[in-house]
Structure formats: C-alpha cells, structure tokens
Amino acid sequence: MTKVINCGNLKIGGNNKITVQSMLNFNLSNNINQAIDQVKLLEANGCDIIRASIDSEEDAKAIKTLKKYTNMPIIADIQFDYKMALYAVENGIDAIRINPCYIGSEDNVKKVIEACKDKNIPIRVGVNSGSVKKEFLDKYNGVNQFSLVESALEQVKLVEKYNYDNIVISIKATNVKLTYDANIELKKRTDYPIHLGITESGSDEDGIIKTSMGLGSLILLGIGDTIRVSLTEDPVREVIIGRKILQYLGLRPYGIDVISCPTCGRTKVDLINIVKDVKKAVAPIKKDIKIAIMGCAVNGPGEAREADIGFASGNGEALLFKKGEIIRKVNEEEIIKVLLEEIEKIN
C-alpha cells in the first residue's frame, strides 16, 4: 500500500479514493476571469485537484484570488525557475510539481524543499519519456522502464536528502506499454503515491483510447493514486474521461451509466439516435444507476439483465424492464418520459 499524503483538504494514497486532476489552460495573471470560470466548471464536472502553471510572481499572487472560487487543492506547475515555487508557497499553494533536475543548483532545490517542508506541502516529482537524463539513457540503453524509474527515483532521493518525504511520483510516456511497464517497475521500488497519465496522448479517440488502456490496466493492478487525462481538448473533457475511467472500473460513481446494444439486422428502430437522446436527457441526473437501451425485445431484456432499468424497442412499442424482468409495454415516443419517471422512483 502507498503512503498517504495530504494535498489541501484531500488525502492521496493508501486506501483513499483515486483523485482526478486537470490543468488550467489560462494564464492566472493575464486571464484570471477565464481561469476562475474554468475552475468552477471543472469542479462542477467532478475534478478533484487542479494544476496551474506559475511562470511569474503575478501568477503566484493570483493563486489567492483563484482559491476564493474553489475548494479544490491547487498545484503549482513549475518549470525552470525555483523562485516561482517559493512565490507559490508564499501565496498559499497546496502542492508543487517540479522536476528538481531542471531547476538549477542543488541550493535552489534545497530552498524549494525547505519552503514546502515548512508548510507541509507535497512535492510531485517525476519524469516523462522526453525528459530522461542522458546519464540514465546511456546506462540503460535509451528510454525504457529502467531509465525512467532511475530518473524518477533520483529526484526522490534528492528530496529525501533534505529529510522530506511528502512526495508523489509520476512517470509518464506517450507510449502506453512503456507507461505500463515503467509504473509497474516503479511500484516495485517505492511506496510513495503514484500519479498516472499518458503524456501528450493526443485528442479525441486517440487520446481517450491510449489513456483508458494505460490508466485502466495499471489501476486494475492496484497502481495509481491520482490520475490526469492529458488531452489536446477542453480540460473539462479530461475530467469527464478521468471520472468515467474510474466509474467503469467500479471505483467511483459518476452518474448514470447508459448501456446499449450495438444494433444488428433485427433492430427495427433508429437506436443510435434514441440512445443519443436518452444520454442527453439523463446527463444531469447524479444517481449511480445503470440503464439499458436495447434494439429488440427478443434478446434485449435478457442481455441487459445487469441494468437497473431499461427499454427494448421494436415495432412502435418498447418493453420496459427492470433487472431483466419485463414490467410493461410503452409507446416508443414516450420512452424518455417514462424512463425519467422511473429513474425518479429509484433511490
């Protein structure tokens, strides 16, 4: 089991729920109003932790303003300048994400660690496939799970050297299999909480498939304490995908799960559009239930036995069923109305 660390009002690691993170794509000092709107939207969609790039003292000062609008812990993303980390700590940040090897002399690293230690702020360290040190590339013959893990653990050792162990580690690659192998190797060698992600995964299906495969397979092995879906898309979509990954692994509820059949030669209705309409209608409902929309009465109710409630459509009528048992017939045009009424009755 991993160590538990405190990140603002949340606990990461151990038996705590896996948290979902995202990153603001507005600059805090230049676009604070957009950043505030985005933070609210992300939180409303189930984001647990937010990260923001801190590239100036003004960005760091804006953390205080942002905090007025959210309960989520905020992580400062620091690139090369250690002073940005110090400013962020001064302005009430909840965690810091740095690559200690990128922020210059050890003395600078020490200053950041001491500042975090003073306020018990966690530090996320780690590498991605593009930032492995040459020393480890030479030693392990390129980018692989061993060079990635050595690189990450070198950063951990540097933080530990100053008697600090409030650490989260991440190892991300663009390649799914490499991310998988590296995190398995990492887990063997550390008990710090692990942040999972597939870096630069792309957009749409590409990014969603890579992320779901990489994160899903690791989480099923019990690896991963906090996740970020990195898509070239609106961060809100990252959060929705992240939450759905956890929902479909049975780890965290995230509203109604709509299951539906793939359609076949027996389908007599426009099931594709019916399902789209149903999903739209039930989207705001927060209940943790499964509903099934099936294309025929012969196989539909039986195949969707695991659903709490469902419809099997065909020939102008639909059969309403609950847990595989047919309850009654409904006019096909009334499917959504009846479904919403029935969902209302479920506690």
Cα 271 from Cα 304, distance rounded (Å): 15
- Kindly write down the DSSP assignment for every residue of 74-129, as one continuous string: EEEE--S-HHHHHHHHHTT-SEEE--GGGS-SHHHHHHHHHHHHHTT--EEEEEET
Cα 250 from Cα 244, distance rounded (Å): 10
Q: Which residue, 250 or 262, has its beta carbon nearer to ligand SF4?
A: 262
Instruction: Please report whether residue 266 would count as binding ligand SF4 according to CB under 6 A.
Output: yes
Applying CB under 6 A, among 4, 264, 283, 340 the residue interacting with ligand SF4 is: 264
Q: CB of 261: closest distance to ligand SF4 in angstroms?
A: 3
Instruction: Please report whether residue 301 would count as binding ligand SF4 according to CB under 6 A.
Output: no
Binding region for ligand SF4 (CB under 6 A) out of 45-53, 97-105, 150-158, 293-301: 293-301
Instruction: Please report whether residue 73 would count as binding ligand SF4 according to CB under 6 A.
Output: no
**Collapsed DSSP state (helix, strand, coil) of residue 23:** strand
Strands 10-12 and 5-7: antiparallel
123: β partners: 96, 167
Q: CB of 311: closest distance to ligand SF4 in angstroms?
A: 11
Instruction: Please report whether residue 310 would count as binding ligand SF4 according to CB under 6 A.
Output: no
Q: CB of 255: closest distance to ligand SF4 in angstroms?
A: 24
Number of residues that bind ligand SF4 (CB under 6 A): 12
Q: Which residue, 175 or 299, has its beta carbon nearer to ligand SF4?
A: 299
Q: Which residue, 136 or 321, has its beta carbon nearer to ligand SF4?
A: 321
Q: CB of 208: closest distance to ligand SF4 in angstroms?
A: 24
Q: CB of 66: closest distance to ligand SF4 in angstroms?
A: 48
Q: Which residue, 108 or 299, has its beta carbon nearer to ligand SF4?
A: 299
Helices (H), the chain: 32-44, 57-67, 82-90, 106-118, 134-139, 145-161, 176-189, 204-220, 235-248, 271-282, 300-303, 335-345
Q: CB of 313: closest distance to ligand SF4 in angstroms?
A: 8
Over its C-alpha atoms, the chain yields an Rg (Å, rounded) of 23
Q: CB of 321: closest distance to ligand SF4 in angstroms?
A: 12
Instruction: Please report whether residue 300 would count as binding ligand SF4 according to CB under 6 A.
Output: yes
Q: CB of 204: closest distance to ligand SF4 in angstroms?
A: 26
Binding region for ligand SF4 (CB under 6 A) out of 72-80, 124-132, 262-270, 277-285: 262-270
Cα 89 from Cα 201, distance rounded (Å): 30
- Token couple for 246: 């956890």
- Would you tell me how many other CB atoms lie within 10 Å of the CB of residue 235? 25
Q: CB of 276: closest distance to ligand SF4 in angstroms?
A: 16
Q: Which residue, 8 or 295, has its beta carbon nearer to ligand SF4?
A: 295
Applying CB under 6 A, among 54, 72, 246, 294 the residue interacting with ligand SF4 is: 294
CB within 8 Å of 164: residues ≥ 6 apart: 113, 116, 117, 123
Cα 145 from Cα 140, distance rounded (Å): 9
Instruction: Please report whether residue 303 would count as binding ligand SF4 according to CB under 6 A.
Output: yes
The strands making up 309-314's β-sheet, listed across from edge to edge, are: 257-260, 290-294, 309-314, 317-322, 325-331
Instruction: Please report whether residue 267 would count as binding ligand SF4 according to CB under 6 A.
Output: yes
The binding site for ligand SF4 (CB under 6 A) comprises 261-264, 266-267, 294-296, 299-300, 303
